[in-house]
Amino acid sequence: MVRAEWAIFDEDFWAINNVLDDLLKSSKAGNVMLIDRTGQLVSHCGPDVDFDLTSFASLCAADFEANYQLAKLIGEKDFSTLYHQGAKDSMFLGKIHKGVILVVLFDKTTTLGLVRLRVKRAVDELNRIIETLYEKLQYRNEEYDALDETFTREVEAEIDNLFAD
């Protein structure tokens, strides 16, 4: 399931950002982002960038989706990581639980090997955090659904009373 909207509890937000910040420092990357497969930016760590983060997140999600379709064409379930190397800057994208994507931007001051090593640990931690977050949201949604049903019944009964002969 891919979430179109994010509701993140305070403790989960800080847990995610701590993992991203640790990844940023330990990999010597320039920026680290968490986006969902719809292209929504969930979190960003690192200095301000010279481009539109919203557009960038959408393009990263589209890139991941295009590569998912390519994987299916060649008989793979999906590609869990993508790597794009430029003349001076590179990016590494890793699949997280529930359709979330980790994006790491880095330059020549670090290596792909270091980024991959640090991303592996971060992915494990983020998978755990996001799974817990989804469990909380599921429980919360079940509570709201029950409330919505009760509220709807009471509103319908009140409307019936207003228009009763």
Q: What is the pLDDT of residue 143?
A: 43
CA distance 122 to 119: 5
Tens-digit pLDDT string for the chain (165 aa)? 344 455 677 788 889 999 999 999 999 999 999 998 888 888 899 999 999 999 999 999 999 889 989 999 999 988 888 999 999 999 999 988 777 899 999 999 999 999 999 999 999 999 898 888 888 777 554 444 444 566 567 666 767 777 765
Beta strands across the sheet bearing 100-107: 41-45, 31-36, 100-107, 89-96, 81-85
The separation between the first and the last C-alpha atoms of the chain, rounded to the nearest angstrom, is: 47
Q: What is the pLDDT of residue 1?
A: 38
- Give the total residue count for the chain: 165
Q: What is the pLDDT of residue 165?
A: 59
All structural domains of the chain: 10-162 (3.30.450.30)
Task: Give the H or E element holding residue 101.
Answer: strand 100-107
